[in-house]
């Protein structure tokens, strides 16, 4: 069993990472923490709670940073509808977030763990950076970060910047310079990790949660010729099946300002002091087969 913390901003693709992490028998999801990003932190927290409630999971949800470290949360056209999760976030919410905020709760979870833990990040890295700043003693308790973010080629916020890093580049810079092992699933590998239309049609048959998730992908995910891009899912897929992926180690630095704000620049030389393992390719058939097996238990959850 791998104990993990998932810090996220759901988000349609975050919802897939959450569902996979909740259902996987080899993963013990000890905490979901939320951050502002796709939408406000109030919304991302609610969205996470709706998912946990629907899946009848016993995972605490802690609400975190309402804005990036040094900036305002930039308002832009929401990618996944006003709510951040399409029509998903409707109906009664009978569970609520923890009293403690995300940074305190992440710290406590790490301290309580007998082993160093993996932290998966699928939103801006604001909570994670605050954790390192407020609790410099915590580093040995973090085994690694598995993060959605960055790009070696084109961006989705500008020609060079990916959203999670663009949103809070100061936080990303802190994390990239932390010395803690980092794996990133960026835009490059996400574009190759397409979830096929047929896979999504199968998912729609997996009970009411499967149907809702499948609808979200259809309505909101980036559609390519051969399937949907589901960025954040690659973090959990890699955690469970690193053999699906190819990677390369780079020294990467974050650009914080100007037109290159949010760029994750890779040094292509052979330097040995690399700080990021970047996922570069994936066997998408294996990924699709895995996702179907992973989410099939949703069929057993009744409304």
Q: What residue ranges bind ligand BDR (CB under 6 A)?
A: 11, 13-14, 38, 79, 122, 148, 156, 162-164, 231-232
Chain mean position to CA 176 = 16
Nearest to 162, CA basis, from 57, 270, 79, 47 = 79
**115 to 144: interface string for Ca ion, x by CB under 5 A:** -------xx---------------------
C-alpha–C-alpha distance, residues 96 and 98, integer Å? 7
Element of type H or E holding 215: helix 207-220
What separation in angstroms does the CA of 241 have from each of 74, 109, 192, 284? Answer: 35, 24, 16, 12
CB of 87 to ligand BDR, least distance (A): 17
C-alpha–C-alpha distance, residues 146 and 151, integer Å? 15
Pair 65, 73: CB distance under 8 Å? no
Which lies closer to ligand BDR via its Cβ, residue 49 or residue 147? 147
The interface partner of residue 129, options being Ca ion, ligand BDR, none and the CB cut-off 5 to 8 Å by kind, is none
CB of 188 to ligand BDR, least distance (A): 12
Which lies closer to Ca ion via its Cβ, residue 232 or residue 294? 232
Residue 149 sits in the site that holds Ca ion (CB under 5 A): no
Pair 200, 289: CB distance under 8 Å? no
The interface partner of residue 34, options being Ca ion, ligand BDR, none and the CB cut-off 5 to 8 Å by kind, is none
Pair 15, 122: CB distance under 8 Å? no
- Contact with Ca ion (CB under 5 A): which of 3, 4, 7, 14? 14
- Contact with Ca ion (CB under 5 A): which of 6, 11, 62, 247? 11
Nearest residue to the partner ligand BDR, using Cβ: 163
The interface partner of residue 79, options being Ca ion, ligand BDR, none and the CB cut-off 5 to 8 Å by kind, is ligand BDR
CB of 185 to ligand BDR, least distance (A): 9
Nearest to 164, CA basis, from 253, 84, 87, 231 = 231
Binding footprint of Ca ion on the chain (CB under 5 A) = 9, 11, 14, 122-123, 232
């Amino acid at each position: 069993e791998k104990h993990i913390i998932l810090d996220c901003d759901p988000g349609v693709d975050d919802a897939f990472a959450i569902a996979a992490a909740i259902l996987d028998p080899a993963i013990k999801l000890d905490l979901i923490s939320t951050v502002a990003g796709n939408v406000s932190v109030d919304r991302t927290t609610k969205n996470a709670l709706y998912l946990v409630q629907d899946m009848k999971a016993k995972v605490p949800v802690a609400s975190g940073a309402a804005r990036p470290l040094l900036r305002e949360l930039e308002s832009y056209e929401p990618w996944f509808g006003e709510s951040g999760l399409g029509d998903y976030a409707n109906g009664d919410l009978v569970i609520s977030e923890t009293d403690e905020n995300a940074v305190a709760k992440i710290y406590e979870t790490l301290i309580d763990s007998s082993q160093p833990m993996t932290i998966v990040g699928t939103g801006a890295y604001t909570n994670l950076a605050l954790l390192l700043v407020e609790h410099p003693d915590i580093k040995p308790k973090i085994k690694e970060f598995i993060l959605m973010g960055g790009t070696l080629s084109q961006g989705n916020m500008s020609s060079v910047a990916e959203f999670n890093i663009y949103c809070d580049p100061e936080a990303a810079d802190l994390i990239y310079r932390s010395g803690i092992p980092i794996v990133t699933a960026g835009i490059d590998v996400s574009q190759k990790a397409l979830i096929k239309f047929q896979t999504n049609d199968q998912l729609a048959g997996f009970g009411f949660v499967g149907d809702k998730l499948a609808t979200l992908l259809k309505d909101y995910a980036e559609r390519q010729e051969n399937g949907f891009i589901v960025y954040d899912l690659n973090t959990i897929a890699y955690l469970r099946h690193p053999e699906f992926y190819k990677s390369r180690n780079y020294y990467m630095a974050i650009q914080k300002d100007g037109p290159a704000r949010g760029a994750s620049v890779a040094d292509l030389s052979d330097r040995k002091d690399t700080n990021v393992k970047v996922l570069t390719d994936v066997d998408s058939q294996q990924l699709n087969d895995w996702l179907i097996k992973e989410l099939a238990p949703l069929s057993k959850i009744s409304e």
